[in-house]
Chain A
Amino acid sequence: MINFEEELKKFYPSLELEEAQEAIAGQDLSDVTDILVAMLAEGNDPGSNPRSRRVRR
């Protein structure tokens, strides 16, 4: 037997046309490649690499 109240909570409001611009602007576009690039960039920067700092010590 389903719980009606619980099921109703699964429904969320639909985006309206007026909200389209806001939705586009607020879209979270971060992806794994961004993280990877950031990680690789950090790896190439010696000052920002904690392991390299430890070696220096």
Chain B
Amino acid sequence: MRCYACGNELTGRDYCTACGADVAMYKKIRYLSNRLYNEGLDKARVRDLSGAILSLKQSLRLYKGNIDARNLLGLIYYETGEVVAALTQWVISKNFREEKNLAGDLLGTVQRDPQRLETLGRTAKKYNLALNYARQESYDLAIIQLKRILQLNPGFLRARELLALLHLRAGDFERARLECNRCLRIDSGSTLAKRYLKEAQSALLPTERDRGRRRMGSDAVRYQSGNEMIIQPARTGFSGGAVSLGTALLGIGLGIAIAWFLILPTRVTRVQEAAKQEITAVNEESDAKTAQMRNLEQQILTMEEQIRTMEGERDASSGEEGSLSVEALMNAAAAYLKDPEDLDTVRKYMADVDKNAPELENNEGASTLYGDLQSLVGKDLAEMFAKEGADAYRDGDDEKAIPALMRASELDPEDGESLFLLAQAYYRSGRTEDARTAFNRVVSDFPDSGHREEAQNLLAEINNAGT
């Protein structure tokens, strides 16, 4: 400490040993200034920046040359986003003492990052703009501007306090509370932030008296949280016994719930699995039986078809054909009785008469009628059939020749010529067995016939072809 009058270093005495000036009061003021600096330093260490600023300002008011106090004040201003105020303090400090001054380092640090300095300068301008918006009642614009500022400089305490105030005004208490808490993280001694926080909290959490009053009106407590209306069910009082009973019931309920959700599902799953297996087995059995039934139904259908076919064949071979032969014989007999000279009509009916048809053979009357008719007109009819058959055979029409020659041979069993032609027609049309039978009859029944040798040759030919 130097003398204010001559600048000499002071000793422990109350006057200057060089010039004799009274320094007792001066020393006290300097001590007090240092003491306030220490107090400010302590407050700054616990982030009570507002308190620290107050102490440091008082310290400087007592002694403006307290370099440490001025430097610390600048540092605190810088921390709260007040860059110009910080620079001011550091420049003044530097002017007080050029050498060995921390202010020089601090100024150097700031000047080495001009971009940062420019950004911080811009935030100051924007803050002033936001403040103007707020004063002109353009609150939304002010909020938007402040949010941008805080993105650039999150530690700008005044901007954050103003934002909290604007949120409070807008009724957005939750955001106001949030901003206040952030302010208090920067400066734990911020009176504004504390006041705004109290206001926000009182809005968010209604007092006990308010709760009681609101409960009287309804069974629910309602209060505003930001833009949201919180509706909380009102509590009702329970006695100790009721609480115990409720707890016991709750325990039982929980036990049932555990059994329901943990044990029962396992058992249900097991039962379901067993049922599924049983259903699968039954389905398999059912499928097998269904297949068996379908097979049997198919067999029934096949057999029914066979029966129908056989019935058809039976009817075709015996019934209809037989009855047809009998009917044709009766018609032939009727035609003869009507006009014995009209042999053409008789021949026409007799062409449909099969002598070997079962109906005809088994019918005694029909057989007698056939015999009588044969004895009366057999020869004449045989000649007509023989001629018709021979003509057809020569024309190569075996389909027409065979029935005609067959009737000729039946009506006149001694007609070897017609039999031989019949055998040849059979042979030519590919009916080998019938041809063989006919040729054998020619050979056996007509040994003196001129066709015997030829019939034997053709029989040999058939036999060779057969082997």
Shortest beta-carbon distance from B432 to chain A in Å? 131
On whether the beta carbons of A17 and B192 are closer than 8 Å, the reply is no
Interface residues of B, CB < 8 Å — how many?
A: 42
**Interface assignment of B61: CB less than 8 Å from any CB of chain A:** yes
Residue of A nearest to B123 (CB): A14
**Interface assignment of B168: CB less than 8 Å from any CB of chain A:** yes
Residue of A nearest to B22 (CB): A40
* Chain A residues in 8 Å Cβ range of B22: 40
**Interface assignment of B117: CB less than 8 Å from any CB of chain A:** yes
Residue of B nearest to A4 (CB): B169
Mask, B116-138, CB within 8 Å of A = 1, is: 01100100110110010011000
The distance in angstroms between the C-alpha atoms of A39 and B60, with both chains bound, is 19
**Interface assignment of B63: CB less than 8 Å from any CB of chain A:** yes
The distance in angstroms between the C-alpha atoms of A2 and B198, with both chains bound, is 10
Shortest beta-carbon distance from A10 to chain B in Å? 7
**Interface assignment of B29: CB less than 8 Å from any CB of chain A:** yes
Shortest beta-carbon distance from A19 to chain B in Å? 7
On whether the beta carbons of A17 and B165 are closer than 8 Å, the reply is no
**Interface assignment of A55: CB less than 8 Å from any CB of chain B:** no
The distance in angstroms between the C-alpha atoms of A12 and B455, with both chains bound, is 150
Mask, A30-42, CB within 8 Å of B = 1, is: 1111101100100
On whether the beta carbons of A31 and B92 are closer than 8 Å, the reply is no
B170-225 residues at the A interface, CB under 8 angstroms: 192, 195-196, 199
Known interface pairs A7-B165, A19-B84. Does A13 touch B131 (Cβ–Cβ under 8 Å)?
Answer: yes
The distance in angstroms between the C-alpha atoms of A49 and B197, with both chains bound, is 56
Give the tally of cross-chain contacts (CB within 8 A). 90
**Chain B, interface SS category:** helix
A8-57 residues at the B interface, CB under 8 angstroms: 8, 10-11, 13-17, 19-20, 23-24, 27, 29-34, 36-37, 40
Shortest beta-carbon distance from B128 to chain A in Å? 5
Shortest beta-carbon distance from A11 to chain B in Å? 5
On whether the beta carbons of A17 and B84 are closer than 8 Å, the reply is yes
On whether the beta carbons of B135 and A8 are closer than 8 Å, the reply is yes
Known interface pairs A7-B165, A23-B84. Does A33 touch B26 (Cβ–Cβ under 8 Å)?
Answer: yes
**Interface assignment of B256: CB less than 8 Å from any CB of chain A:** no
* Chain B residues in 8 Å Cβ range of A29: 64, 92
* Chain A residues in 8 Å Cβ range of B84: 14-17, 19-20, 23
B127-179 residues at the A interface, CB under 8 angstroms: 127-128, 131, 134-135, 158, 161-162, 165, 168-169
Shortest beta-carbon distance from B328 to chain A in Å? 133
Shortest beta-carbon distance from A21 to chain B in Å? 9
**Interface assignment of B382: CB less than 8 Å from any CB of chain A:** no
On whether the beta carbons of B61 and A31 are closer than 8 Å, the reply is yes
Known: A8-B165, A14-B124. 13 other contacts (CB 8 A): A2-B168, A7-B165, A17-B84, A17-B117, A17-B121, A23-B88, A27-B92, A29-B92, A32-B61, A33-B63, A40-B22, A40-B25, A40-B26
Q: Please name the 9 residue pairs, one residue from A and one from B, whose CB atoms are nearest each other, closest first.
A: A15-B84, A17-B121, A31-B64, A14-B124, A13-B128, A32-B62, A4-B169, A14-B127, A29-B64
Question: What is the interface of chain A, defined by CB distance below 8 A to chain B?
Answer: 1-2, 4, 7-8, 10-11, 13-17, 19-20, 23-24, 27, 29-34, 36-37, 40
Question: What is the interface of chain B, defined by CB distance below 8 A to chain A?
Answer: 4-5, 21-22, 25-26, 29-30, 60-65, 82-85, 87-88, 91-92, 117-118, 121, 124-125, 127-128, 131, 134-135, 158, 161-162, 165, 168-169, 192, 195-196, 199
